[in-house]
Amino acid sequence: SSELTQDPAVSVALGQTVRITCQGDSLRSYYASWYQQKPGQAPVLVIYGKNSRPSGIPDRFSGSSSGNTASLTITGAQAEDEADYYCNSRDSSGNHVVFGGGTKLTVL
């Protein structure tokens, strides 16, 4: 089992806002990073650090954190945002790297 817990599936209506969460004790000490993965493709980093976006990632993607929970928010979800989303951070010991189990986002 992963030290980072994500809801398996989330859905959002086109153009609405959706929040995908990631829970874990290590998130009290470390920021989560977030990855988007579409079928048959490698993951793509969308959020890292406190709330930073790599070049080319739309500003509708944002990140936040409170206590042991990190969140990825998509404001105004688009059809192309339908994908699996994974969070990632250090584990609670700080020595290793872990991924959440992933959340499948459906855009209705």
Instruction: Point out which residues bind other proteins (CB under 8 A).
Output: 2, 29-31, 33, 35, 42-45, 48-49, 54, 86, 88-90, 95-102
Q: Which is nearer to other proteins, 18 or 35 (CB)?
A: 35
CB of 59 to other proteins, least distance (A): 18
Of residues 49, 47, 45, the one with CA closest to residue 37: 45
Residue 71: both structure tokens together: 């969140």
Q: Which is nearer to other proteins, 47 or 77 (CB)?
A: 47
CB of 13 to other proteins, least distance (A): 26
Q: Which is nearer to other proteins, 16 or 52 (CB)?
A: 52
Residue corresponding to tokens 């959440």: 100
CB of 25 to other proteins, least distance (A): 14
Residue corresponding to tokens 């890292």: 48
How buried is residue 68: exposed, middle or buried, by Cβ count under 10 Å (0-12/13-18/19+)? middle
Beta partners for residue 72, in sequence order? 20, 63
